[in-house]
């Protein structure tokens, strides 16, 4: 099965992110969910974003890279919103990546100085009226990835909520989140099957 590295969003390593990791674990995959905030969890996104800014986004990305150190090359990287920064950088630049799942954010591939590797499949998920995802250029960056990468999919869900996939937050949308989880697990299973077949 797949080995997955999950990076949390701006609130921190919430119960909802832990629950997502546990769902993936129950499906038979190995999951790592490092805490990029060193134990801090914030009740509002504004507080969490202010903390991330005070720490520095480069530091957040570096903490994500540090978390990958010592792990196998063939990881699938998952990022929720802010966590997309380390997930996307590692997927683009760390050799051996098996895939990426970018939830509720996407940045231009040029941000990390490298084209998206054609052998790294990616799924991107976000709400079509989310003021962050749809209104700040993330959806456009996602569409650019889909246009240039052979195995890339963008899934848009109706609604304007950010962090709709976190079951512990008021922004949670159960129906949309269930669709995301179904597609995420299907993606992981496909990558696992392909990896097994390649080794055979």
pTM here is 0.95
Mean pLDDT, the chain, rounded, equals 95
Q: What is the pLDDT of residue 85?
A: 97
Mean pLDDT, range 64-79, rounded to an integer: 95
Mean pLDDT, range 47-71, rounded to an integer: 95
Alpha-carbon distance 129 to 158, whole Å?
Answer: 7
Q: What is the pLDDT of residue 27?
A: 95
User: Distances from the Cα of 123 to the Cαs of 36, 176, 188, 199, in angstroms?
Assistant: 23, 15, 10, 24
CB–CB of 77/101 below 8 Å? yes
Alpha-carbon distance 43 to 14, whole Å?
Answer: 10
| pLDDT of 180 strictly over 70 | yes
SS3 39: coil
Which is it for strands 99-103 and 122-127: parallel, antiparallel or unpaired? parallel
Mean pLDDT, range 143-165, rounded to an integer: 97
| pLDDT of 194 strictly over 90 | no
Q: What is the pLDDT of residue 102?
A: 98
Mean pLDDT, range 84-89, rounded to an integer: 98
| pLDDT of 199 strictly over 90 | no
Mean pLDDT, range 162-172, rounded to an integer: 97
Query: 98-143: per-residue pLDDT in tens?
Result: 999 999 999 999 999 878 999 999 999 999 999 999 999 999 999 9
| CATH number of the structural domain 3-195 | 3.40.50.1820
The number of residues in the chain equals: 200
- Minimal CA–CA distance to 186: which of 3, 31, 27? 27
Mean pLDDT, range 78-96, rounded to an integer: 97
Mean pLDDT, range 162-191, rounded to an integer: 97
């Amino acid at each position: 099965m797949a080995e997955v590295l999950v990076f949390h969003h701006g609130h921190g390593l919430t119960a909802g992110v832990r629950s997502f990791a546990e769902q993936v674990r129950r499906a038979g995959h190995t999951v790592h969910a490092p805490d990029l905030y060193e134990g801090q969890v914030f009740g509002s996104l504004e507080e969490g974003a202010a903390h991330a800014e005070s720490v520095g986004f480069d530091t957040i990305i570096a903490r994500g890279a540090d978390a990958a150190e010592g792990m196998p090359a063939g990881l699938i990287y998952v990022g929720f919103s802010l966590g997309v920064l380390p997930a996307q950088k590692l997927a683009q630049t760390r050799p051996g990546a098996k895939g990426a799942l970018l939830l509720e954010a996407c940045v231009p591939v040029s941000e990390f100085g490298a084209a998206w590797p054609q052998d790294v499949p990616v799924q991107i998920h976000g709400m079509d009226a989310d003021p962050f995802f749809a209104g700040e250029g993330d959806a456009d960056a996602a569409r650019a990835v889909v246009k240039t990468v052979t195995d890339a999919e963008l899934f848009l869900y109706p609604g304007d909520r950010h962090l709709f996939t976190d079951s512990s937050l008021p922004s949670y949308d159960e129906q949309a989140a269930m669709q995301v989880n179904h597609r995420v697990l299907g993606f992981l299973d496909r990558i696992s099957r392909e990896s097994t077949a390649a080794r055979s």
